[in-house]
């Protein structure tokens, strides 16, 4: 599905796990660059690295 967001940037809160992570991954899969926020720094960094590896988009924390 093409949401027309490729190349845009999305800010995703609570994105280290659960629904926030799933939203970040879905957006990244559509070519959206992601800025991720979460309380747990370690889990956030792990999720960001994995999403970047899987999708090839820019992921910031």
| pLDDT tens digits, 39-53 | 999 999 999 999 999
Q: How far is CA 2 from CA 19, 29, 30, 61, in A?
A: 20, 10, 7, 25
Q: Assess whether pLDDT exceeds 90 at residue 4.
A: no
Residue 55 is assigned to a structural domain of this protein: yes
| pLDDT tens digits, 6-37 | 999 999 999 999 999 999 999 999 999 999 99
Q: Total structural domains in the chain?
A: 1
Q: At 25, phi and psi to the nearest 5?
A: -65, -40
Q: What pLDDT, on the 0 to 100 scale, is given for residue 44?
A: 97
- Write out the residue range of the structural domain in which residue 57 sits: 31-61
Radius of gyration of the chain (CA): 10
Residue 35 is assigned to a structural domain of this protein: yes
What is the Cβ-side half-sphere exposure of residue 1, based on CA atoms within 13 angstroms? 4
Is 0.85 surpassed by the pTM of this model? yes
Q: Beta strand pairing status for 9-12 and 33-36?
A: parallel
Percent of residues in the chain assigned helix, strand, coil, to nearest 5 = 45, 15, 40
């Amino acid at each position: 599905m093409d949401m027309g967001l490729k190349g845009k940037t999305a800010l995703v809160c609570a994105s280290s796990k659960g629904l926030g992570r799933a939203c970040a991954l879905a957006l990244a899969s559509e070519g959206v660059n992601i800025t991720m926020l979460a309380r747990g720094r370690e889990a956030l960094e792990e999720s960001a690295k994995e999403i970047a590896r899987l999708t090839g988009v820019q992921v910031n924390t």
